Protein backbone atom coordinates (compact mmCIF):
# COMPACT_ATOMS: atom_id res chain seq x y z
CA UNK A 1 0.00 0.00 0.00
CA UNK A 2 1.39 3.38 -0.94
CA UNK A 3 0.46 6.66 0.61
CA UNK A 4 0.65 9.87 -1.33
CA UNK A 5 1.50 13.04 0.50
CA UNK A 6 0.77 16.52 -0.71
CA UNK A 7 3.83 18.50 -1.66
CA UNK A 8 4.72 20.99 1.07
CA UNK A 9 4.02 24.61 0.29
CA UNK A 10 6.98 27.02 0.30
CA UNK A 11 7.91 28.51 3.65
CA UNK A 12 9.62 31.88 3.67
CA UNK A 13 9.46 33.01 7.25
CA UNK A 14 8.59 32.56 10.90
CA UNK A 15 5.51 31.19 12.60
CA UNK A 16 2.79 33.30 10.97
CA UNK A 17 -0.11 31.82 9.07
CA UNK A 18 -1.46 34.37 6.60
CA UNK A 19 -4.94 32.92 6.32
CA UNK A 20 -5.77 33.20 10.02
CA UNK A 21 -3.34 35.90 11.15
CA UNK A 22 -2.56 33.83 14.24
CA UNK A 23 0.76 32.29 15.25
CA UNK A 24 1.05 28.58 14.60
CA UNK A 25 3.21 25.89 16.08
CA UNK A 26 5.63 24.10 13.76
CA UNK A 27 6.17 24.69 10.07
CA UNK A 28 3.37 26.25 8.06
CA UNK A 29 3.08 28.10 4.78
CA UNK A 30 4.04 31.70 5.45
CA UNK A 31 3.10 34.64 3.33
CA UNK A 32 2.63 38.30 4.01
CA UNK A 33 -1.04 39.10 4.42
CA UNK A 34 -0.64 42.03 2.03
CA UNK A 35 0.20 45.69 2.32
CA UNK A 36 -1.56 47.78 4.89
CA UNK A 37 -4.18 50.07 3.47
CA UNK A 38 -4.60 53.68 4.49
CA UNK A 39 -7.90 52.82 6.20
CA UNK A 40 -6.15 50.23 8.41
CA UNK A 41 -3.61 52.76 9.69
CA UNK A 42 -4.12 55.43 12.33
CA UNK A 43 -4.30 58.91 10.74
CA UNK A 44 -0.77 59.85 11.83
CA UNK A 45 0.86 56.49 11.01
CA UNK A 46 3.20 56.15 8.07
CA UNK A 47 3.68 52.97 6.07
CA UNK A 48 6.59 50.94 7.39
CA UNK A 49 9.32 49.82 5.03
CA UNK A 50 12.65 48.05 5.01
CA UNK A 51 15.64 48.66 2.78
CA UNK A 52 17.88 46.19 0.98
CA UNK A 53 21.43 46.92 -0.20
CA UNK A 54 23.94 44.56 -1.81
CA UNK A 55 27.55 45.69 -1.41
CA UNK A 56 30.40 44.87 -3.76
CA UNK A 57 33.57 43.36 -2.29
CA UNK A 58 35.50 46.61 -2.83
CA UNK A 59 32.91 48.85 -1.12
CA UNK A 60 34.42 50.84 1.72
CA UNK A 61 32.63 51.90 4.90
CA UNK A 62 32.11 55.51 3.76
CA UNK A 63 30.45 54.43 0.51
CA UNK A 64 28.26 51.95 2.41
CA UNK A 65 27.15 54.65 4.84
CA UNK A 66 26.42 57.04 1.95
CA UNK A 67 24.15 54.49 0.26
CA UNK A 68 22.23 53.81 3.46
CA UNK A 69 21.89 57.55 4.18
CA UNK A 70 20.46 58.11 0.67
CA UNK A 71 18.08 55.20 1.21
CA UNK A 72 16.88 56.68 4.53
CA UNK A 73 16.41 60.11 2.94
CA UNK A 74 14.48 58.68 0.00
CA UNK A 75 12.20 56.71 2.34
CA UNK A 76 11.52 59.79 4.47
CA UNK A 77 10.70 61.92 1.41
CA UNK A 78 8.41 59.13 0.17
CA UNK A 79 6.46 59.18 3.44
CA UNK A 80 7.79 55.81 4.61
CA UNK A 81 8.98 54.86 8.06
CA UNK A 82 12.19 52.91 7.30
CA UNK A 83 12.48 50.45 10.18
CA UNK A 84 15.61 48.63 9.01
CA UNK A 85 18.09 48.08 6.22
CA UNK A 86 19.25 44.60 5.26
CA UNK A 87 22.77 44.73 3.86
CA UNK A 88 24.16 41.87 1.78
CA UNK A 89 27.90 41.65 2.43
CA UNK A 90 30.07 39.77 -0.06
CA UNK A 91 31.25 37.13 2.38
CA UNK A 92 30.63 33.42 1.80
CA UNK A 93 30.15 32.61 5.49
CA UNK A 94 27.52 35.26 6.30
CA UNK A 95 23.82 34.52 6.51
CA UNK A 96 21.88 35.83 3.54
CA UNK A 97 20.43 39.28 4.12
CA UNK A 98 17.90 38.54 1.36
CA UNK A 99 16.53 35.63 3.40
CA UNK A 100 16.29 37.88 6.45
CA UNK A 101 14.51 40.47 4.29
CA UNK A 102 11.89 37.90 3.23
CA UNK A 103 11.33 36.96 6.87
CA UNK A 104 10.86 40.62 7.82
CA UNK A 105 8.28 41.01 5.05
CA UNK A 106 6.18 38.31 6.70
CA UNK A 107 5.35 40.87 9.38
CA UNK A 108 1.94 42.38 8.68
CA UNK A 109 3.14 45.91 9.48
CA UNK A 110 5.81 46.10 6.75
CA UNK A 111 4.51 46.72 3.24
CA UNK A 112 7.42 48.09 1.21
CA UNK A 113 11.03 47.34 0.26
CA UNK A 114 13.27 50.19 -0.88
CA UNK A 115 16.38 49.44 -2.95
CA UNK A 116 18.92 51.91 -4.40
CA UNK A 117 18.81 50.33 -7.89
CA UNK A 118 17.94 47.11 -9.72
CA UNK A 119 21.57 45.94 -9.48
CA UNK A 120 21.13 45.55 -5.72
CA UNK A 121 18.87 42.57 -6.36
CA UNK A 122 20.90 41.36 -9.37
CA UNK A 123 23.03 42.70 -12.19
CA UNK A 124 21.17 40.39 -14.57
CA UNK A 125 17.73 41.59 -15.64
CA UNK A 126 16.10 38.16 -15.58
CA UNK A 127 17.31 37.42 -12.06
CA UNK A 128 16.34 40.94 -10.94
CA UNK A 129 12.80 40.41 -12.30
CA UNK A 130 12.56 36.99 -10.61
CA UNK A 131 13.73 38.30 -7.23
CA UNK A 132 11.38 41.28 -7.47
CA UNK A 133 8.49 38.98 -8.37
CA UNK A 134 9.35 36.73 -5.42
CA UNK A 135 9.12 39.71 -3.08
CA UNK A 136 5.94 41.13 -4.60
CA UNK A 137 4.02 37.90 -5.17
CA UNK A 138 5.06 35.85 -2.16
CA UNK A 139 5.00 38.63 0.44
CA UNK A 140 2.60 41.18 -1.07
CA UNK A 141 5.14 43.97 -0.49
CA UNK A 142 5.82 46.75 -2.97
CA UNK A 143 9.37 47.27 -4.26
CA UNK A 144 10.47 50.89 -4.68
CA UNK A 145 13.63 51.46 -6.73
CA UNK A 146 15.39 54.76 -6.00
CA UNK A 147 17.16 54.97 -9.37
CA UNK A 148 13.78 54.85 -11.13
CA UNK A 149 12.71 58.16 -9.61
CA UNK A 150 13.65 61.68 -10.67
CA UNK A 151 15.02 62.57 -7.23
CA UNK A 152 17.55 59.72 -7.38
CA UNK A 153 19.15 61.22 -10.47
CA UNK A 154 22.31 63.27 -9.84
pLDDT at 90: 75
CA distance 65 to 49: 18
pLDDT at residue 51 tops 90:
yes
When comparing pLDDT for 149 and 63, which is higher?
63
pLDDT at residue 24 tops 60:
no
At 76-96, the pLDDT tens digits run 999 999 999 999 987 777 778
At 109-138, the pLDDT tens digits run 999 999 999 999 999 999 999 999 999 999
Confidence of residue 43 (pLDDT cuts 50, 70, 90): very low
By three-state DSSP, how is residue 130 classified? helix
When comparing pLDDT for 113 and 26, which is higher?
113
Query: Across residues 133-152, what is the average pLDDT?
Result: 83
Domains delineated in the chain: 38-152 (3.40.50.1390)
Q: In angstroms, what is the C-alpha Rg of the chain? A: 17
Using DSSP, how many helices (H) and how many strands (E) does the chain show? 3, 4
Question: How far, CA to CA in Å, does 111 sit from each of 68, 93, 95?
Answer: 19, 29, 23
Amino acid sequence: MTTQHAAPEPVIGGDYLATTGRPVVGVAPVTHPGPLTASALPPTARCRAVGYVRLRPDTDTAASEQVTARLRGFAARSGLDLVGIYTEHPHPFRQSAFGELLQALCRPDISTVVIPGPEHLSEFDGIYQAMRALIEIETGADVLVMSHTIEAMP
